[in-house]
Structure 1
Amino acid sequence: MTTGHVSTVDTPISPFTAVVAPDGAVLASGWTADVDDLLPQVSPSLRPTTLAHRRDLGAVTKAVRAYHAGELDAIVDIPVRQRGGAFLERAWEALRAVPAGKPVSYAEHALLAGRPAAVRAAASACARNAATLFVPCHRVIRTGGAPGNFRWGADVKRWLLAHES
């Protein structure tokens, strides 16, 4: 039995909720106040069996607040834990290397993940990313510059991209 911790903080966009493992690694996060929007994305092997609500998650809460206040690199050193196939895990790691203000296309993301022809798989990695913000899938856009889809909505993605530019 594992107990995860969950906290929601207000941001300029909407409430932001994070679920962390006992060691503080982010398991899931996103712009929602409802933890049930997050848990289905967490690998069953990592999903906590119980959740304890906390007002503050330490470094994670500090990073969320700092990022939204303009310290775009505040999220870089926060540990994240996700499980998927080998390509998904490489694709999520590649996303963490995309710098703020330098969005990449889905094709470029596939290349960064080591499989240039796997553009759809790279897009799927974005869609299946449980640790949004800390694994910044919002930094992947369509060829030509259109924002593309985002679990938390097009307005949130546009805000994030503008915030980082």
Structure 2
Amino acid sequence: MTETIDAQVLPTPIAPLSLLTHGGVLVAAGFTGDPGEMFARLPAKLRALPLNPVDDLGKPARAVRDYLDGDLFALDSVEVDQPGTPTRQRLLAALRAVPPGTTVSYARLAEHAGLPKTAARAAGGACAQNLIAPFVPCHRVLPSVGGFGGYYYGAHVKEWLLGHEKAL
């Protein structure tokens, strides 16, 4: 049996959400109707596999539907895997620990990851390179100076997600 990257696009109230799995583990998710956009951001070893559209990815798709229906912790149950240095992995783990309905600053995220306050820039980089939104909830990180800050899929998507979670 050939290994593949399985992909499904789900409708959401704000934008289509593409989900990509490898061996049942979520390796990419993003607010785009074109899974190829997410596929292009994967590490080379995964891009070497064929992209396989499927009708139902199972648990990740159910988690999205449950999240949209109000179970704000549903995304936490999905296994994810993305590349990164040990520092980046600590930041991504800290991101997953930020509860729905709350926000943190980049500096606070770095602190939660056990990194010095000077690592706020690294926290911003981890958010910018996050391949698995909203499962790794970088939308819950706001600049300490106010506003929404950047978001790969647009500030309007970040604002919608925070509103859905009632974190505004």
* 1:15 is aligned to 2:12: no
The TM-score, its normalising length taken from structure 1, stands at 0.94
Q: C-alpha root-mean-square deviation of aligned residues, in Å?
A: 1.3
Q: Aligned partners of 1:150 and 1:36: how far apart in 2?
A: 19
- The letter for the 2-side match of 1:136 is P
Contact 1:21 1:27 survives alignment (8 Å): yes
Show the counterpart of 1:100: 100
Aligned partners of 2:34, 2:58: CA distance in 1, in Å? Answer: 20
- How big is each residue's C-alpha offset from its partner over 1:32-76, in whole Å with a ceiling of 9 and x where there is no partner? 111122123322244451111111100010011111121101101
8 Å Cα contact 1:26-1:79 kept in structure 2: yes
Q: How many Å separate the matches in 1 of 2:80 and 2:128?
A: 16
Task: Find the counterpart in structure 2 of residue 6 from structure 1.
Answer: 7
In the TM superposition, residue 85 of structure 1 has moved relative to its aligned partner by 0.7
Taking structure 1 as reference, are residues 112 and 45 closer, same or farther at Cα in structure 2, changes over 3 Å only?
Answer: farther
Residue 68 of structure 1 corresponds to 68
Specify the code of the residue in structure 1 equivalent to 2:22. Answer: A
Identity of aligned residues (%): 41
Task: Give unpaired runs (5+ residues) of structure 1.
Answer: none
**What secondary structure, in the 3-state scheme, does the structure 2 residue paired with 1:118 have?**
helix
Q: Does 1:85 align with 2:95?
A: no
Letter matched to residue 66 of structure 1: D
Equivalent residue letter for 2:51: L
Shift of 1:144: 3.9
Unaligned runs of 5+ in 2: none
Q: TM-score, normalised by structure 2?
A: 0.92
State the one-letter code of the partner of 1:25. V
Out of 104-113 and 38-47, give the one that drifted further: 38-47
Alignment of 1:1-165 (within 5 A): 2-22=3-23, 24-47=24-47, 49-116=49-116, 117-165=118-166
